[in-house]
């Protein structure tokens, strides 16, 4: 029985801004792949659907590992695990802490606590922003305002 295995070794962490946006917006890997396919990326790059799936999953794993560092931006700036140029680190931090306009409009004037899952459910339903993205923005706003 033979198996195929693709391995990529490098020292600079590659960040695809479009995939990062999909991750921040709370899309699952499956949904992100579907959106990327609809954007025409397979035709643009000549990649297969399997390669696109693998690439998207790899990016999501990286973002998941980076997220704990994004919770404390100085840690991201001084860590040695991920080789990320300073300009790219700044972009990651800036976008992680950015708010969707629709989310801000719904949150203004409301007192959100960490435990108000129902409020975030309502905001997600009203705005069409995924619940995962609402939770991230709610957590960011809590850190920002406290």
3-state helix vs strand vs coil in the chain, percent to 5: 65, 0, 35
Note whether 36 and 89 are same-domain residues.
Answer: yes
Distance separating the N- and C-terminal Cα atoms of the chain: 57
Has residue 4 been placed in a domain? no
Has residue 5 been placed in a domain? no
Has residue 33 been placed in a domain? yes
Note whether 104 and 139 are same-domain residues.
Answer: yes
Residue 16, class by beta-carbon neighbours within 10 Å (0-12 exposed, 13-18 middle, 19+ buried)?
middle
Q: What is the pLDDT of residues 62-73, one digit of tens each?
A: 999 999 999 999
pTM over the 0.85 mark: no
Q: Which residue has the tokens 């992680």?
A: 96
Whether pLDDT at 144 is above 70? no
Has residue 2 been placed in a domain? no
For the chain, give the number of residues: 146
137 sits in which H/E element: helix 131-145
Q: 112 is in which domain, residue-wise?
A: 100-145
Has residue 1 been placed in a domain? no
Q: Report the alpha-carbon distance of residue 142 to residue 134 in Å, rounded.
A: 12
Q: What is the pLDDT of residues 81-132, one digit of tens each?
A: 899 999 999 999 999 999 888 888 777 766 666 556 677 888 888 888 888 8
DSSP state of 13: P
Note whether 93 and 116 are same-domain residues.
Answer: no
Note whether 15 and 60 are same-domain residues.
Answer: yes
For the chain, what is the mean pLDDT? Answer: 86
DSSP state of 8: -
Has residue 90 been placed in a domain? yes
Residue 84, class by beta-carbon neighbours within 10 Å (0-12 exposed, 13-18 middle, 19+ buried)?
buried
Note whether 129 and 108 are same-domain residues.
Answer: yes
Note whether 93 and 110 are same-domain residues.
Answer: no
């Amino acid at each position: 029985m033979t198996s195929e295995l693709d391995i990529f070794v490098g020292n600079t962490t590659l960040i695809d801004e479009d995939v990062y946006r999909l991750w921040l917006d709370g899309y699952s890997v499956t949904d992100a792949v579907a959106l990327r396919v609809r954007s025409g990326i397979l035709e643009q790059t000549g990649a297969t659907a399997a390669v696109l799936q693998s690439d998207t999953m790899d990016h999501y794993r990286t973002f998941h590992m980076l997220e704990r560092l994004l919770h404390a931006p100085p840690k991201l700036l001084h860590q040695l695990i991920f080789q990320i140029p300073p300009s790219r680190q700044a972009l990651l931090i800036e976008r992680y802490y950015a708010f969707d306009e629709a989310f801000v409009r719904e949150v203004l004037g409301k007192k959100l606590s960490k435990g108000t899952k129902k409020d975030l459910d309502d905001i997600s339903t009203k705005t069409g922003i995924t619940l995962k993205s609402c939770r991230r923005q709610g957590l960011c706003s809590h850190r920002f305002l406290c």
